[in-house]
Amino acid sequence: MWLRVAAAGAGAGAGGSRAASGAAAAQLRRRLEGELEGIRGAGTWKSERVIASPQGPHLRLAGGGDAGILNFCANNYLGLSSHPQVIRAAVRALEEFGAGLSSVRFICGTQSIHKELEEKIARFHQREDAILYASCFDANAGIFEALLTPEDAVLSDELNHASIIDGIRLCKANKYRYKHMDMQDLEAKLQDAQKHRLRLVATDGAFSMDGDIAPLREICQLAQKYDALVFIDECHATGFLGPNGRGTDELLGVMDKVTIINSTLGKALGGAAGGYTTGPKPLIDLLRQRSRPYLFSNSLPPAVVGCASKALDLLMESNAIAQSMAAKTQRFRSKMTAAGFTISGKDHPICPVMLGDARLAAVMAEDMLSRGIYVIGFSYPVVPKGKARIRVQISAVHSDEDIDRCVEAFTEVGRKHGALP
């Protein structure tokens, strides 16, 4: 009844939308429009292309007819986002366990599949236990505040992901920011932090803008020397870095030295959604009691759990998919370098094609799309001024022909716009 009265009383605008009236609402609207204009004026407006097909190496864009677009900008590193077995597992979980839990975990939201997935994640990373979150953003938002007090210190790489930065902001520990992958600076900050009860070094395992890998061996050595713990965010590593895809710690031989891992189920591990923390059992137990994004947010939907669980099964059965992605990455990096481009990072499927100039990156990315290759240009403020690039991401499901087509298009477009001689 109330709903009907409210609906009848308020005036609907074009297309059925309703605008609140009153001076405060008008003032807010003016302020927001001004801010949006500022973003457009600064050239940092982010638009969203609409995809009309499943995620994969070949996409159909909405309104783009049937022409296939070759996709080189998803985090679908292993091609599992649309893997038939992953999809079937999601459908089975949906049918068996329903659409969702309508509850947080500790009230009425823990199903057997949540426990199984947590156990599987811990086994995959060879850790004691794991806890699921709705996203890795939530896992990062929820760990520092639960773990660290004003007596403790956290030392964070300056280029860590936004969710680590936000998570650290929420905690009351003493905060140190060290220069990107600069071990001298980290050591100086660790010396200063000796006065605190506990020290936690926090770093991305692989950095998503540059495709560079944290020097975990050196970080772990310093952590040992200064009695610190090491936390890594493995969103761009889990499933494919290291001989068995365990991540940066496996790649660099420090699995027994990294204490805490946060990662996502929304990239290589099926690409649906979700995140987790894995590490010592008492830490996981504490997070279940204290971590706010876990305590006060809905459980992961069964279909999403089904996807991730199957993705992990596939990875634990064989490392063939991860190996195939590594070979494709190598092919792209070496052919692009031979063509005269500079590719940042090393051995990582994030392959930033460094161009320097923001306009050049934007124009080249548009021209690549007109040739059927979907890549994205990044410029300031997402990356430092003068370091604009087009970020290419390789997937295990790209064929050699896909990669060669991408390199050929880059070469043509690079010549046309003066990025290559």
- Please identify every residue annotated as catalytic: 208, 236, 267
Q: Which two tokens stand for residue 316?
A: 């634990």
Contact criterion met (CB below 8 Å) for 279 and 121 = no
The half-sphere exposure of 97 on its side-chain side, counting CA atoms within 13 A, is: 22
> In terms of CB distance, is 127 or 391 closer to ligand PLP?
391
Helical segments of 259-390, H only: 281-290, 292-295, 302-317, 320-339, 358-370
Q: Which of 156, 259, 264, 379 binds ligand PLP (CB under 6 A)?
A: 264
> In terms of CB distance, is 160 or 411 closer to ligand PLP?
160
Q: Parallel, antiparallel, or unpaired: how do β-strands 229-233 and 260-264 relate?
A: parallel
Q: In the range 235-254, which residues lie near ligand PLP by CB under 6 A?
A: 235-236
Nearest distance, CB of residue 373 and ligand PLP, angstroms: 22
By C-alpha distance, which of 342, 333, 394 is closest to 73?
Answer: 394
CA distance 106 to 225: 39
Give the count of residues interacting with ligand PLP (CB under 6 A).
Answer: 14
Q: In the range 42-101, which residues lie near ligand PLP by CB under 6 A?
A: none
> In terms of CB distance, is 236 or 335 closer to ligand PLP?
236
Q: In the range 268-287, which residues lie near ligand PLP by CB under 6 A?
A: 275
CA distance 237 to 139: 16
Q: Which two tokens stand for residue 196?
A: 């605190």
Q: For the sheet with 174-178, list strands across it.
A: 129-133, 275-279, 260-264, 229-233, 199-204, 153-157, 174-178
> In terms of CB distance, is 212 or 233 closer to ligand PLP?
233
Q: Which of 105, 114, 125, 161 binds ligand PLP (CB under 6 A)?
A: 161
CA distance 9 to 22: 15
Cα dihedral 81, 86, 92, 93 sign: negative
- All residues at 6 or more sequence positions from 43 whose CB lies less than 8 Å from its CB, including other chains: 358, 379
Q: Which of 77, 137, 176, 332 binds ligand PLP (CB under 6 A)?
A: 137
Q: Which two tokens stand for residue 201?
A: 């070094």
State yes or no: residue 143 binds ligand PLP (CB under 6 A).
no
Nearest distance, CB of residue 233 and ligand PLP, angstroms: 5
Q: In the range 185-214, which residues lie near ligand PLP by CB under 6 A?
A: 204, 208
Nearest distance, CB of residue 177 and ligand PLP, angstroms: 16
> In terms of CB distance, is 303 or 409 closer to ligand PLP?
303
Nearest distance, CB of residue 207 and ligand PLP, angstroms: 8
Nearest distance, CB of residue 263 and ligand PLP, angstroms: 8
Nearest distance, CB of residue 319 and ligand PLP, angstroms: 23
* Residues at the contact surface with ligand PLP, assessed by CB under 6 A: 135-137, 140, 161, 163, 204, 208, 233, 235-236, 264, 266, 275
